[in-house]
Amino acid sequence: MKVLVTGATGHFGGLVVKSLLNQMDAKNISVSVRNPEKASSLSEMGIDVRHGDFDFPETLATAFDGIDKLLIVSTDLDNETRIRQHKAAVAASKTAGIKHIIYTSVADASHSSLALAEVHRQTEKTIIESGIAYTFLRNNWYLENEVSSIQATNAGAPWVTSAESGKVGWTLKREYAEAAANVLASEGHENKIYELSSQPQTQEKLASVVSAVIGKEIPVLHVSDEVYGESLRAANLPDFLVELFKDIQKSIREGALDVVSSDLEKLLGRKPLSLEEAVSEIVKSF
């Protein structure tokens, strides 16, 4: 069985490949990247590095040729571009004869109020309509997304949120990547949807865990969406990010990431790290 990971020079794709190497011979692992020169370290490991650019669909069918199972790591641009790129990847998969697509989606993609969820809804629909066997890995939320807030509190800032009592299933990126690798390397996941989440927690809980880990009292400021947005502008974030982060806080408040599931534990074959363990790992990386 030959597998391929897209975006392997990115952080998530790189973590998937690292985990795959613990389970498969490198000769059965391929990657597609926009710039093969940046993947020289993977070539040196015996991994088949192929040129595949989501903006040039003709490169994708060639990159996917001879592959059995494909992991499409969702791209990271504006929604319209991402939808176009993902549809191109699915079309190329059909042309190349891919037997099974694994796709990194978002929590409860079918119903989520997150603005970014539309990308995943449309991509999941496109994959299903292709007739190719699929597995949707609906990742909840990367704890790494909170690094800037954790660093700010370590410097003495309060924890600012407009999410109220909304809960999030924060998990480290490497654990989501390990779950993806386990699906790629094993059988029995065809036409399944996995909601991947640790135990959902509130912003108050996360702030208290960070407080305990860094050894500093962290006040939590519950503010309106407007005040939250102003705090981001004060930190010199561009308007498009301000609006994105405001939408995320609003969606958390509405329960978009409050998904309780044991799927992550099932795919990992163990319990995911506790929030305390995961925060400690983040803080140690500073």
List of domains in the chain: 3-140+170-198+259-273 (3.40.50.720)
CB contact burial 101-139 (16+ within 10 A = b; e otherwise): bbbbbbbbbeebebebbbbbbbbbebbeebebbbbbbbb
Phi, psi of 31 (to 5 degrees): -135, 150
Q: Of 66-70, 77-81, 87-91, 166-170, which range is least confident?
A: 77-81
Looking at residue 286, what DSSP letter applies? -
> Pairing state of beta strands 69-72 and 48-51?
unpaired
pLDDT of res. 274: 97
What the block records as the tokens of 16 is: 């998937």
Amino acid identity at 185: A
Q: Stretch 69-98: mean pLDDT, rounded?
A: 95
pLDDT tens-place string over residues 112-134 = 999 999 999 999 999 999 999 99
- Contact of 206 with 179, CB cutoff 8 Å: no
Model pLDDT, residue 168? 98
Tell me the three-class secondary structure of 55-119, residue by residue: CEHHHHHHHHCCCCEEEECCCCCCHHHHHHHHHHHHHHHHHHCCCEEEEEEECCCCCCCCCCHHH
DSSP-derived secondary structure letter, 53: B
pLDDT band at residue 224 under the 50/70/90 scheme: very high
pLDDT at 165: 97
Contact 74/138 with Cβ under 8 angstroms? Answer: no
Q: What is the maximal distance between C-alpha atoms in the chain?
A: 57
Sheet containing 100-106, strands listed edge to edge, beginning at the edge strand earlier in sequence: 48-51, 29-33, 3-6, 69-72, 100-106, 133-139, 192-196
